[in-house]
Chain A
Amino acid sequence: MSSNDIEMISVTKAYGSHRAVNEVNLAIPAGEFVSILGPSGCGKTTTLNMIAGFAHPSSGDIRIRGKSQNGVPPEKRGIGMVFQNYALFPHMTVEENVAFGLKMKKRPIGEIRDAVKHALRRVHLDGYGERYPKELSGGQQQRAALARAIAPEPSLLLLDEPLSNLDLKLREAMRVELKDIQEQLAMTFVYVTHDQDEAMAMSDRIVVMQNGVVAQCGRPADIYDHPRSSFVADFIGKSNLLPIQEVQRSGKDWVVSVATGLSLRAKTPDDTLADPPQYCCIRPEAVRLTMVESDASTSANRLAGTLTRMVNLGAYFDCFVTLQDGTVLKSLVRSTRLPGLTSNQTVFLSIEREAVQLLPR
């Protein structure tokens, strides 16, 4: 008895000599919202299509609710899917679209009617049932596609970049709605996206993919705070990534020399280094920028430089500080904190030792 809704066991999908998905191992627990995140072409859709049954693994096994899906066609897998382009049936009204899954299962008319009404209300489309898909806006079509997928109440729903065609406002509103639906219906969501904000905002767990392999899998905060590679650090959130030349021990700290000559003190949680670190990663919000030199008694790294560029993000400024050795560090500064901050002035940075993360790749 397994509580995992989906298990992928060293699944590989090869197109010719190219491996779109390479030895992927994944366990998705029932009831979780899992995002598959990665750049274009990294194998997200291929992974989803294999779970749905539209593509077949070249090797490895996919289990759904504990059962191997080898040879089980999509129509027998009992899962729902929201397609990237919605794929609404153009010749059916919204109502007929939403009713389709239940109609195929030959449910009683009354039950279908109730389920359709319920699903449409859930995605805030009541009153639109009589319309044809082309009479809906992009956002409404997206919600209709969602209603169609949830009406048969599958325990497992696959979503392939369902919000990618929406404007920012609608996208943010839909994130909240999706999360609500997932929690209320206690469904397992596998959500494909290349938008890291979206993944961070909604997921219980994020799977970061890179060139067909899983680069890292974990809770959003864990991945953000402890990326396991420079790729993940770069892809999830913003970061200052500096290639490391040398690492030395100094008391309880590590002293990291960066290619440009800068050296930083770092502290790892367990005081060990598993692999020789290649990069160090510092999140911009961990780089504290001040206009006067900070207290010399702190154990933090203290640096000075010139503020070369400020990008206004509304509530925050993205500040680019060029250090004496030429290294450029990004710092995130709340707009209200330092009134009078201007470009080309000398600024001081302090970075806690714990914020300097050492990455093996």
Chain B
Amino acid sequence: MDRLLSFAFQLSLFLILAFIALPILVVLAASVSPTTTITFNPSEWTFQWFTALTASRWLDPFLLSIKLAAIVTALSGLLGFLAAYAVAYQKCPGHETIMAFLVSPLAVPQIVKGVAIVLFLSSSGFYSLLGTPGLVMAHIILTLPFVLRMIAGAMYNFDKRLDQAGRILGATAAQRIRFILLPIIKPGLFSGMTFAFILSFNNIPLSVFLVRPGETTLPITVINHMEYSLDPVLAAVNVASLAFILTAILVFEKIGGFSTQIHGGSK
């Protein structure tokens, strides 16, 4: 009975993984196929589409997206930490209300946020902020609630007696944050920042309103290209950005060790 159950678990796990992975395999095959017809015959495979990615029409948006994601990740990590410290850790007056307010952007669809931001920028005369500055701000509005929630969760779980232990040993508030609080909530902080990175790097609904010629993110460039053709270079772009994001997740995980938080592993 137990073995049957365990077999059922493993089978369903395999099916779920297959369901997630198969479309990616199709894209992978498309990216090495010489024509728009996807082939699974390895002898026909070619890397020409990947070579095409080094052209500046692909490379520039890719670099912009990386820069944007990096800035957004760093800023929303910093802002998220500061907000969580005041709200979840110090429990400042009205902390529950402030928390609800800070995560409220989650309730607004991205497309609505995008329209609102553009309207705000144009009506308030900040039209010049379109492009990178606008993208950074818009993406932070999107990512901050996620980062904040993750850090706040880690802080709610933080054992306040560790802070008391630090105090009685003579540590100042800054020393306690640096040597006790930060190392302990690091997994929460880094998993939040990973979310921010992915959300920013892949974003379409907000970016579409804020890019401008010469300052276009990778996903928007893909969308624009799709209007004219569906050639395999798109598949190559997708494979490249998939590889990049996986690498980024691995790096974040390496530094932050947050997989412990997700699957409860021991470390």
Stretch at the interface among A98-106, A197-205, A249-257, A291-299: A98-106
A100/B183 in contact, CB under 8 A: no
Taking residues whose C-beta sits less than 8 angstroms from the other chain, chain A's interface range is 20 to 34
Shortest beta-carbon distance, B103 to chain A, in Å? Answer: 28
Interface of A is mostly: loop
B162 in contact with A100 (CB, 8 Å): no
Residue in B159, B170, B184 whose beta carbon sits within 8 Å of that of A104 in the complex: B170
Residues of A within 8 A of B184 (CB): 90-91
Is B164 a contact of A87 with CB atoms below 8 Å? yes
Residue A287 at the B interface, CB < 8 A? no
Question: In whole Å, how far is A182's beta carbon from the nearest beta carbon of chain B?
Answer: 18
Chain B residues with CB under 8 A of A152: 169-170
In angstroms, Cα B165 to Cα A12, docked, is 24
**In contact, A91 and B183 (Cβ under 8 angstroms):** yes
B35 at the interface (CB under 8 A from A): no
Contacts of B263 in A (CB 8 A): none
Residues in B whose Cβ lies below 8 Å from that of A90: 162, 184
Q: Which of B161, B166, B172 contacts A100 (CB 8 A)?
A: B166
In the complex, which residues 68-110 of chain A have their Cβ closer than 8 Å to any Cβ of chain B? Answer: 73-81, 83, 85, 87-91, 100-101, 103-105
Interface residue? A355 (CB, 8 A): no
A-B contact count (CB 8 A): 62
Q: What mask results when residues 168 to 182 of chain B are scored 1 for a CB within 8 Å of chain A, else 0?
A: 111110010001100
Contact call B159/A87, Cβ cutoff below 8 A: yes
Q: Which residues of A contact B166 (CB under 8 A)?
A: 89, 100, 104
A52 within 8 A of partner (CB): yes
The residue in chain A whose Cβ has the minimal distance to the Cβ of B184 is: A91
Contacting residues, chain B, for A78 (C-beta < 8 A): 170
A149–B168 alpha-carbon span in the complex (Å): 9
Question: Which of A78, A79, A83, A100 has the largest count of B CB atoms less than 10 A from its CB?
Answer: A100
Q: Which of A73, A103, A104, A152 neighbours the largest number of chain B CB atoms within 10 Å of its CB?
A: A104
In the complex, residue of chain A having the shortest beta-carbon distance to the beta carbon of B180? A89
CA of A303 to CA of B14, assembled, Å:
84
Distance in angstroms from A162 CB to nearest chain B CB is: 13
Q: Which of B161, B167, B175: most chain A CB closer than 10 A?
A: B167
- Once A100-B179, A104-B175 are accepted as A-B contacts, the answer to whether A87 and B161 lie under 8 Å apart by CB is yes
Whether B170 contacts A105 by the Cβ 8 Å rule is yes
Chain A minimum-CB-distance residue to B175: A104
Report the Cα distance A90→B267, complex, angstroms. Answer: 11
Tell me how far the C-beta of A112 lies from the nearest C-beta in chain B, rounded to whole angstroms.
13
Pairwise interchain contact A85-B161, C-beta atoms closer than 8 A? yes
Partner of A83, one of B161, B172, B179: B161
**Interface contact A75-B171, CB-CB below 8 Å:** yes
- Which residues of A sit under 8 angstroms from B171, Cβ to Cβ? 75, 100, 104
Contact B180 A74 (CB under 8 A): no
Residues of B within 8 A of A80 (CB): 168-169
CA distance A76 to B165 in the complex (A): 13
Complex alpha-carbon distance, A104 and B180, angstroms: 12
Q: How far is the CA of A83 from the CA of B161 in the complex (A)?
A: 8
B168 touches A79 (CB 8 A): yes
**Sampled A-B contacts (28; CB under 8 Å):** A54-B164, A54-B167, A74-B164, A75-B169, A75-B171, A75-B172, A76-B170, A77-B168, A79-B168, A81-B168, A83-B164, A83-B165, A87-B162, A87-B165, A88-B165, A89-B165, A89-B166, A90-B184, A91-B183, A100-B169, A100-B171, A104-B166, A104-B169, A104-B172, A104-B175, A105-B170, A148-B169, A152-B169
* A-B contact sample (15 more), CB < 8 A, given A83-B165, A100-B171: A54-B167, A75-B171, A75-B172, A79-B168, A80-B169, A81-B165, A85-B161, A87-B159, A87-B161, A87-B165, A100-B169, A100-B179, A101-B170, A105-B170, A148-B169
Chain B residues with a Cβ under 8 A of chain A: 159, 161-162, 164-172, 175, 179-180, 183-184
